[in-house]
Chains A and B, each alone.
Chain A
Amino acid sequence: DVKVTQSSRYLVKRTGEKVFLECVQDMDHENMFWYRQDPGLGLRLIYFSYDVKMKEKGDIPEGYSVSREKKERFSLILESASTNQTSMYLCASSLRQGAVQAFFGQGTRLTVV
């Protein structure tokens, strides 16, 4: 079974802090994704990566950056956390380009106060 693991289930951070969300997958998948889920807005793609050190902006990249130094790890960085970044963050991975299915981590509920 594919396992996608996010480092934290719940996080509380202060406005202005730099926040790191970590994600690791154990199935040698090429593609990794960061989404945020908000009520009524569904899953919105923040960034994705199709290879080590490669990244592409998704639909809502503002205020975020990412890092993929190793194939199995994809980090989401909130440069200066703001209250409107309070959300559920979901990491996902898929095997390669054209893969049918994405596999999700358990999610990180981030609250910025």
Chain B
Amino acid sequence: DQQVKQNSPSLSVQEGRISILNCDYTNSMFDYFLWYKKYPAEGPTFLISISSIKDKNEDGRFTVFLNKSAKHLSLHIVPSQPGDSAVYFCAARKPTGANNLFFGTGTRLTVIP
């Protein structure tokens, strides 16, 4: 049962434009949401997170928006750069338990120069 879903397996965007990656979740117990970025042949690296008590968190070119009523979050990258081309994983955390991070299936972003 996939509790975190990324319905778009891929996205292509022109350099300089906005990239919007989407993520939906089903479990209302999740209290933190994270985005990880993964380049080929490397492990995922943490990008940005948001607490469930907030609706927006910004870090440079990256902003995450959370809509709790819709159980939806999105990652905005502005402006997009070719180096942003990677697979982006959305993850959600339950506050208890050792296995408390649940990942989406990933979206491959390609930024076209």
User: Contact residues of A with B, CB < 8 Å?
Assistant: 4, 6, 9, 30-31, 33, 35, 37, 40-43, 45, 48-50, 56, 58, 90-92, 94, 97-107, 109
Which B residues lie within 8 Å of A100 (CB)? 32, 34, 49, 93
With most chain A CB atoms within 10 A of its CB, the pick from B6, B43, B101 is B43
CA A4 to CA B42, docked complex, whole Å: 12
Question: Per-residue 0/1 for B85-111: is the Cβ within 8 Å of any A Cβ (1 yes, 0 no)?
Answer: 000010101011111110111100000
CA A101 to CA B105, docked complex, whole Å: 18
Q: Choose from A9, A33, A43, A101 the contact partner of B41 (Cβ within 8 Å).
A: A9
CA A25 to CA B92, docked complex, whole Å: 23
Query: Given A9-B41, A41-B105, A100-B49, is A56 in contact with B89 using a C-beta cutoff of 8 Å?
Result: no
Question: Per-residue 0/1 for B15-28: is the Cβ within 8 Å of any A Cβ (1 yes, 0 no)?
Answer: 00000000000000
CA A102 to CA B45, docked complex, whole Å: 9
CA A97 to CA B98, docked complex, whole Å: 4
The reply to whether A99 and B34 contact each other, CB–CB distance below 8 Å, is no
Beta-carbon nearest neighbor of A107 in chain B: B43
With most chain A CB atoms within 10 A of its CB, the pick from B89, B95, B99, B105 is B99
The reply to whether A104 and B44 contact each other, CB–CB distance below 8 Å, is yes
The reply to whether B41 and A107 contact each other, CB–CB distance below 8 Å, is yes
